[in-house]
Amino acid sequence: MAETPSSVVLNIGSQRISMAVFETSKSGGLVLKAYESTSILADPAAEVIRMPQTRLAIQELAQRLKIAKGTRIRYAVAGQSVLTRFVKLPAIDSDNIDQLVTFEAQQQFPFPLDTVVWDYELLPGAPGEKEVALVAIKSDALDEINSCILGHGFLTSEIDVAPMALYNAFRSAYADVQEPVLLIDVGAKTSNLLYIEGARFFTRSISVGGASITTAIAKEYGISFAEAESQKTSNGIVTLGGGHTSHLDEAVAALGTVIRNAMTRLPTEIARTTNHYRSNHSGNAPRRIVLAGGGATLPYAKEFLEEKLGIPVEYFNPLRSISVGKNVDAELLSREAHLMGELIGLGLRTTGKSSINIDLVPASVEALRSADKRKPFFIASAAAIVVGMAAFGLLKSKAASDAEERLAALKQEKETLAQTGVPMENLLRKESQLKATAQAYITAKLNQTFWVAALNEITTHFSSQYVWSVDMAPVRGYDPLKKKVEAGQPDVNGESVVKDDFGANSTTSSIIAKVATATSAPSKANTNTTDSSTFNAIRIKGMWRDNPDKQNVVNKLLASLQGSTSTIFKFSGLNPDKSVAEFPKENILIKLQSAEDEKEKYAWPFEIVLPITREVPAK
C-alpha cells in the first residue's frame, strides 16, 4: 500500500463500518489498493454506546490499513440519518437556481435551515422538467459523526450520503443498463430503495433491516439481542414456500420461519414505494432487481424476494468498473463485493466520474476550508510587500517621494492583514482547546460505557447453556506475556481491583482495593504493569456442567472469543524486540477442573483472565 494514498474512503453504517484506499491509474480509472471492514452491535436498546463503538471501529480500521494522522478522509453517512426530498422545479433561468432551491428547501425540511447542513443536486427529470434532490442532516448529529473522524487526528475531505454513493457506484458498474432497475440495499436499521432509469434517480429509506429481524428472533425465543444476532448470522436462513422446510433440521426451519415472517414487510414496503414512484415521479416499474447490503447475505434472501416480487434478482457487483491491486484479498472481495457499493461510489469522487456530488459540510470543516482558501491571498500579500520594499530601494534615487507614498500604502495594507490574522489565530487556538475538551469527554464516555461493551462481547462470544459465570472482577498489573517464575519465588501476575473482603465491609467502605507494596510492586520483567488507579484485564470465574465436550466447552468458547474482531479484548502483544507474540494459553485460562477429578459434583470450576486493549480507570 502506498504511504500517501490518493484517496481514503469510509462508509459509516449502523452496524457495518468499512474503509478502503484507492488510487487513480494513469488512464484515469479507479484502483482499489486496500480494504477492511468491521461490525458493531446494532442493538436499539444500546443506542447510547453506538457512537463510542463507531469511534473504536474507525480507529481499528485505520490501524489495520496504517492510515496516518492528518490524512483527508471522504466518508458517507447512513441513509436513515438524513432527510432526502425530490422536488420538481418550474422552468427558470439557471442564474436563479440557487435562490429557488433554497426556497424549496425551506418548504421541504421540517427544521430551520440554520439548524441543518444541507446540499442539493440537479437531476434530469421528465421532458421539459427539472428535478432536484435535497439532502439535509441536523447540524449537531453531523458534528457528532464528524467527531469520530477528527478525534483520531484525521481531516474531513467530503461527506456524502450512502444512497447517493451507492447510485454513483451503480452508474459506473452498470453503465450499459437502461431498463428500470431497483437497487435494494438491506442495512441494519433500514433498507434503501434506489429506483434507477438511465440517468434518472429516486431513493427512499424504509424501516426494515437486519436489526428488525434480530429483534423478532429475540422476541420469539426470549433471548438477548446479542444472542439473537449470533443465531441469525450462524444458523439463520429465509425459508421459502412449497415445502422448502421439509428437508431442514427442525430448529433451523423454525428459525427460518421467524426470519421469513420478519422479512415479509420488505416486499410490502417495496410495492408501496414503487406505486409512489410511478404516480408522483412519472417513473416506470422496475424490471430488474439488484441486491446489496449486509441483510442480503442471509441464505435464500435473493430467492425470497424473487418469489414475492416476481422479478429477477441478482447480487450487486460494484467492482465491475474498477481495478484491484495485487495485495487485496480476492477471496474476501468475492464474498463482500455486494457490501462495497458505497466505498466504490466514494472512490469515484476522486476521479471526477461520479454522477451525483453531495457534500454535507459541518461548520468546523467549512471554517478550515475557508482558511485554506485565504492562505494564497496572505502569501501573495506578503510577497507584494517584499517586492514593494525592493522597488523602493531601486527607485529611491529617482523617485524618492513616489517610493515613500508606495511604502506607506504597503505598510497600511500589512497592518490591515495583521488585524485579520490575529482573530484567526485566536479562533484556531480556541478550536484546539475545544478539541482537547471534546477528546476528554469522549474518553470519559468510553470509560463510562466500557462494562456495557465488555459484557456485550462476552455475551456474544462466551455464552453456552453448559457454562455460566459466578464472579467477574477487574485486574491491574496483569502481564499476559509473563513467563512462569522459578520455584521458591513469588508468582504475582496481577491483582484484583476489588477487595477480597468485599461484602463483609460496611456500606461506607470503598470496594476498591488499595495497592499493597509488597505484592504489587512491578518486576523488571513485567513490562505491562499498570497504574494502581487503572486495570488492564478482567478475571472471570465460572462453572461448567456435564456436556458432550466435557471441559473443552470452555476451551471452545474461549477460542470463539479469540477469533472475534473484538475491540475490547486482545490476545496478542509485542515482545521487547517489537515482534508479535500470542499470549500463552496458561496465562489466559488459569484454571479448568476436569470432571474426572470429582465425578460426584454437578459442576466444575474454571477461571480465565481476559486482557483488554486499553487501561480503564478503576474508579
**Angstrom distance (rounded) from CA 571 to CA 585:** 9
Asked whether residue 538 carries a pLDDT value surpassing 60, the answer given is yes
* 524, 525, 528, 530: CA torsion to nearest 10: -30
Rounded-to-integer distance, Cα 519 and Cα 476, Å = 12
**Per-residue model confidence (pLDDT) at position 500:** 60
More confident residue, 164 or 458: 164
Q: Report domain 7-351's class.
A: alpha beta
pLDDT (average), residues 395-401: 61
Is the pLDDT score of 523 beyond 60?
no
Cα separation, 534 vs 143, in Å, equals 31
Sheet holding 130-138, edge to edge: 83-89, 130-138, 116-124
- Separation CA 479–CA 525 (nearest Å): 9
What's the mean pLDDT in 313-333? 92
202-236 tens-digit pLDDT: 999 998 999 999 999 999 999 999 999 999 999 89
Q: What percent of the chain has pLDDT over 90?
A: 38
Residues 475-502: what's their mean pLDDT?
A: 69
Per-residue pLDDT at 522:
42
The mean predicted confidence, pLDDT, of the chain is 83
Q: Which of 457, 439, 349, 359 is nearest to 121 (CA)?
A: 359
pLDDT band at 515 (very low <50, low <70, confident <90, very high): very low
Burial 27-50 (b: 16+ CB within 10 A, else e): eeebbbbbbbbbbbbbbeebeebb
pLDDT in tens, 173-191: 999 898 999 999 999 889 9
Neighbours of 206 (CB within 10 A): 19
Q: What is the pTM of this model?
A: 0.60
pLDDT at 42 over 70: yes
Question: Could you tell me the residue ranges of all domains in the chain?
Answer: 7-351, 363-448, 450-617
Mean pLDDT value across residues 601-609:
89
pLDDT score for 156 = 92
Residue 352 vs residue 513, higher pLDDT? 352
pLDDT at 96 over 80: no
